[in-house]
Chains A and B, each alone.
Chain A
């Protein structure tokens, strides 16, 4: 096993995390960390527990044991919205867009700390609220433009093509201004051209200072993008390392590919 890619203190640390459903051990004594400014990929077969790890990090599931630290602070036990506010944003495998909201609203809804986001403020209204709203909408428009969705602001999310929906999901994620982005299969279902586009975007996000934890089935993409790869099998970490190392790791071949020598 090699050492971590950088010596900075990690942004996210998972320590001995376990979670069972009934008798099924979905995640078992899992530990790994994510360095700030890196792309870390989580790979493993179906049912390996990757999405469960995401749900544990974001607080959608409570861990049976173990800790999660974000910027050195424990976040396990916090409700999902507090974890999100702390700076962890996630995308979903099945997108979970707000189907019957416009593209603009989908993105605008995600902007943090908006004036008028509380009932009282929205009732009171006022010029400052209006100005803030204009500003936020402008921001959302900007994001849509970046994502080549300009002109679709008023379309309902459900009216967009699948590729556009994926972009919109990314837009919503970016609008949260989260520092750590958890991406659950961002390229699944995309055409090859769009996959390339997405990879480029993901790279640029890191350049812009984001940190990324990725679940991805397309191993080729994983190998190309990642700074660090964590391999899971049946809830346990069976290997981690830089992509080349993992590619040649025997136990990965063994379990992940089902190759028994």
Chain B
């Protein structure tokens, strides 16, 4: 459903991505892994239109979305969960959910908000609290819930594990898995902690220094040695 061809991205003069290709099947979870600073987040941000200096072709459901801004990507069925459990800290949980569904008609919005609160009981308990007062895990849940308000067909998630305790990380990835099961949403997820994401992903893309260095079904990446190679050894290694 999503294909990315020859994606280059720049921050000012600095080229961050060098001809990255990705494909994602419907209702699948794909993981983009790789060491820090490899440009993983930039892949997501470029797809979503937050990085404006980008080249290459991105198609979603057969439609060219290469040059769309976030607003239009949302309309096309994408949603993005940024890094760092980013929520509107000065807004309450409920308000954040409302903002997540900013583009929806109010009746739908109210109904979706209720179901979001049901789906995330933690949030329901704290619906009138400021998001800034939530714990890191709760904020990450809220960020998911916000993105899901729009019932996107494709969810882009940027490093959900950052700053979270291991137990919470497990929970987060279970949630992602559940989202796919229940809502049929495809997920493209960027993660630095490989082990966890590999538990839920179907496909894996490995990025290093802005280049795609390997990709394949998740089974190929399950061994420790493979990962060690990916992360710790020189860049020419091929996995599949």
Q: Do chains A and B touch in the complex (CB under 8 A)?
A: yes
A residues at B contact (CB < 8 Å): 24, 45-47, 160-162, 165, 185, 188-189, 192, 195, 217-220, 223, 234, 247, 253, 255, 257-260
Tell whether B220 is near chain A: CB-to-CB under 8 Å: no
Residues in A with CB closer than 8 Å to B194 are 257-259
Tell whether B88 is near chain A: CB-to-CB under 8 Å: no
Residues in A with CB closer than 8 Å to B196 are 258
Tell whether B182 is near chain A: CB-to-CB under 8 Å: no
Judge whether B193 and A257 touch: CB under 8 Å.
Answer: yes
Q: Name the residue on A nearest B38 (C-beta).
A: A217
Min CB gap A253→B, angstroms: 7
Q: Name the residue on B nearest A260 (C-beta).
A: B195
Judge whether B35 and A218 touch: CB under 8 Å.
Answer: yes
Q: Specify which of A47, A195, A258, A260 lies most central, judged by the most chain B CB atoms within 10 Å of its CB.
A: A258
Judge whether B193 and A258 touch: CB under 8 Å.
Answer: yes
Residues in B with CB closer than 8 Å to A189 are 14-16, 37, 210
Report B1-43 CB contacts with A as 1/0, cut-off 8 Å: 0000000000011111000000000000000000111100000
Tell whether B232 is near chain A: CB-to-CB under 8 Å: yes
Report B70-93 CB contacts with A as 1/0, cut-off 8 Å: 000000000000000000000000
Q: Name the residue on B nearest A234 (C-beta).
A: B163
Tell whether B159 is near chain A: CB-to-CB under 8 Å: yes
| Given A165-B13, A219-B231, 8 other A-B residues pairs in contact with their CB atoms under 8 A | A46-B36, A46-B159, A47-B163, A192-B235, A258-B192, A258-B197, A259-B194, A260-B195
Give Cα A206–Cα B163 distance, bound, in whole angstroms: 34
Give Cα A258–Cα B235 distance, bound, in whole angstroms: 20
Given contacts A45-B192, A188-B37, A258-B194, contact A162 B232 (CB under 8 A): no
Give the dominant DSSP class at B's interface.
Answer: loop
**8 nearest A-B pairs in the assembled complex, by CB-CB distance:** A258-B193, A162-B14, A217-B36, A258-B195, A217-B37, A259-B195, A47-B163, A188-B37
Min CB gap B199→A, angstroms: 10
Give Cα A188–Cα B233 distance, bound, in whole angstroms: 17
Give Cα A255–Cα B164 distance, bound, in whole angstroms: 12
Min CB gap A77→B, angstroms: 28
Interface size class of B (residues with CB under 8 A): 20 to 34
Min CB gap B197→A, angstroms: 8
Min CB gap B59→A, angstroms: 28
Tell whether B99 is near chain A: CB-to-CB under 8 Å: no
Contact partner of B35 (CB less than 8 A), chosen from A192, A195, A217, is A217
Tell whether B234 is near chain A: CB-to-CB under 8 Å: yes
Q: Specify which of A160, A218, A247 lies most central, judged by the most chain B CB atoms within 10 Å of its CB.
A: A218
29 CB < 8 A contacts A-B: A45-B162, A45-B192, A45-B193, A46-B36, A46-B159, A46-B192, A47-B163, A162-B14, A162-B15, A185-B37, A189-B14, A189-B16, A217-B35, A217-B36, A218-B37, A219-B35, A220-B232, A220-B234, A220-B235, A247-B232, A257-B193, A258-B193, A258-B194, A258-B195, A258-B196, A258-B197, A259-B195, A259-B224, A259-B227
Give Cα A258–Cα B166 distance, bound, in whole angstroms: 9
Give Cα A234–Cα B14 distance, bound, in whole angstroms: 29
Min CB gap A214→B, angstroms: 13
Tell whether B161 is near chain A: CB-to-CB under 8 Å: yes
Q: Name the residue on A nearest B236 (C-beta).
A: A192
Judge whether A257 and B13 touch: CB under 8 Å.
Answer: no
Tell whether B51 is near chain A: CB-to-CB under 8 Å: no
Give Cα A33–Cα B10 distance, bound, in whole angstroms: 37
Tell whether B209 is near chain A: CB-to-CB under 8 Å: yes
Give Cα A160–Cα B13 distance, bound, in whole angstroms: 8
Q: Specify which of A192, A220, A223 lies most central, judged by the most chain B CB atoms within 10 Å of its CB.
A: A220
Contact partner of A253 (CB less than 8 A), chosen from B13, B224, B233, B235, is B224
Give Cα A160–Cα B166 distance, bound, in whole angstroms: 43
Give Cα A139–Cα B224 distance, bound, in whole angstroms: 50
Give Cα A219–Cα B169 distance, bound, in whole angstroms: 23
Min CB gap A52→B, angstroms: 13
Contact partner of B233 (CB less than 8 A), chosen from A192, A220, A258, is A220
Min CB gap A60→B, angstroms: 21
Give Cα A192–Cα B210 distance, bound, in whole angstroms: 11
Give Cα A24–Cα B161 distance, bound, in whole angstroms: 15
Give Cα A257–Cα B34 distance, bound, in whole angstroms: 10
